[in-house]
Amino acid sequence: MTHAWTFETAATFWERTKQDPETPWEDFDAAERFLLDHDLRSTAEAVQVVAVLIQQGGDGRSDGRDVNALTRLRTWLGNLA
């Protein structure tokens, strides 16, 4: 299934399906990748990205998207100061 994600649709899908073993992995991973690759625009988006990172439980992604998301999050928070 191909999605034309927005931050809101990806976040809703990810939240709804994160604990559902019936969710097709490709769709879940696509939503997660979209969230981790997103340039943050609000605190609500930052909170969602943190939720994705926490759900991973410290298991680093092999594609480095988690590390890149943390870098963008740190930069975004630094710009708030």
Instruction: Indicate whether 55 belongs to any domain.
Output: yes
Q: Please tell me what DSSP assigns to residue 42.
A: S
Instruction: Indicate whether 2 belongs to any domain.
Output: no
Range of the domain at 66: 7-16+24-80
Average pLDDT over residues 3-28: 91
pLDDT value of residue 2? 60
Would the pLDDT of 18 be above 60? yes
Whether the CB-CB separation of 37 and 68 falls below 8 Å is answered with yes
Q: Give the Cα separation of 74 and 62 in Å (integer).
A: 20
Q: pLDDT tens digits, residue range 37-56?
A: 999 999 999 999 999 988 87
Instruction: Indicate whether 44 belongs to any domain.
Output: yes
- Percent helix, strand, coil in the chain, to 5, is 65, 0, 35
pLDDT value of residue 37? 94
Give the confidence band of 3 by pLDDT, cuts at 50, 70, 90: confident
Whether the CB-CB separation of 62 and 29 falls below 8 Å is answered with no
pLDDT value of residue 19? 86
Domain tally for the chain? 1
